[in-house]
A = this chain, B = another copy of it.
Amino acid sequence: MPYVMVQIPRSPAPASPSGSSVPTSADVARLAGVSRATVSYVLNNTSAVRISEPTRRRVHEAAKELGYVPHAAARSLRAGHSRMVLMPAPTIPVGPLYSQFLSELQGALGRLDYTVVQYGTAGVHGDEAARAWAELRPVAVLVPGSGLGPQGVAVLKRSGARAVVTLGPGTVDGAHALLMDHAAVGRAAAAHLYARGGRRIGVVVPEEPGLEVFSRPRLHGVRHALRGTDATVTELPLAYDEEAAARLAGRWRSLGLDAVFAYNDEYAMLLMRALKDDGVRVPGETAVIGADDLMLGRLLRPRLSTVHIELPSGRDLAELVDRAVRNPTAPPERREVLGASVVARDST
């Protein structure tokens, strides 16, 4: 019996569309010979419905063969909600402290089955940005800094966010607040310098844009701690480069300062180097304290005194978010979460 050419019938609805298009659950259903509903049941392990084992296998195989990946947008459109937690991506380089906090947070939220997404806000700020975030319909929004106003919070909530949490210096109407009061850092530094005999106290204020969020509260904290004492506070604007530091050091003796809070350890290192190059003794003539308790402070000589900062654990924040999402009508929590404690070393 001779081989015959058989006409391969062109299926009216091709089982595997011409490669270029993205496979949908309908494609999986066709290939497995079942309905779309069945595919959904199998792939989501829906417990309310019993599907025979052979069917399950066929569906899984079809999905694998097509490289099927469910469409998150369609899913959350249908469900009416998502499990996306949105944060704006940081716009300034972020230190190891905050990096680790962020990692922890992402891990913890991931374990609670949330998807964390950092939104690359290009240029837009605060309440305008909130509109862009709201388009993604996140179930929760975490906002570091102080850009977001009550308007922004309202927009986000109106568009379905069940929790808005700010991480920063203040509270915003309608949002939960993790208060990170950087004034406490300034207060700790100032109290320490004062206790060590400092009376004419300088405060380095970085000129780099974006750092005001931290530098201003730190400065205010110093002022606050020294109010009513005989100490004076001198603001010292400083750019993060050697020339600026050298210039500042050059007029150091004319400033007559006996102590300085250098914003953080990196600026402290910059300043101490410039002071040493100019022959100003630390801590003899001027005591220097930094902040953030970075490794580099331990490596300097004299060893750098610093303000150690304690951030909340990512797990705690993740649980707060989860609680807030589960119970959106609960009153906003506001919690003070920034711990500041002086680590006295040799520079003060």
Contacts and interface: CB of A to CB of B under 8 A. Distances in A.
A195 to B, nearest CB: 27
Contacts of A158: 22-23, 67, 69
Contact of A295 (B73, B136, B270): B270
Interface string A74-115: 101100001000000111111110011011001101110001
A107 B111 CA distance: 31
A86 to B, nearest CB: 9
B72 A135 contact: yes
Interface of A: 22-23, 67, 69-74, 76-77, 82, 89-96, 99-100, 102-103, 106-107, 109-111, 115-123, 131-132, 134-137, 154-155, 158-160, 240-242, 266, 269-270, 273, 295-296, 298-299
Most-contacted residue by chain B among A90, A95, A120, A160 (CB, 10 A):
A120
Contact of A118 (B67, B89, B135): B89
9 contacts: A22-B159, A71-B77, A73-B137, A74-B77, A77-B77, A91-B103, A110-B120, A116-B119, A117-B118
A273 B295 contact: no
A63 to B, nearest CB: 11
Contacts of A77: 71, 73-74, 77
A131 B76 CA distance: 17
Given A135-B71, A158-B23, A269-B296, A120 B106 contact: yes
Nearest to A112: B122
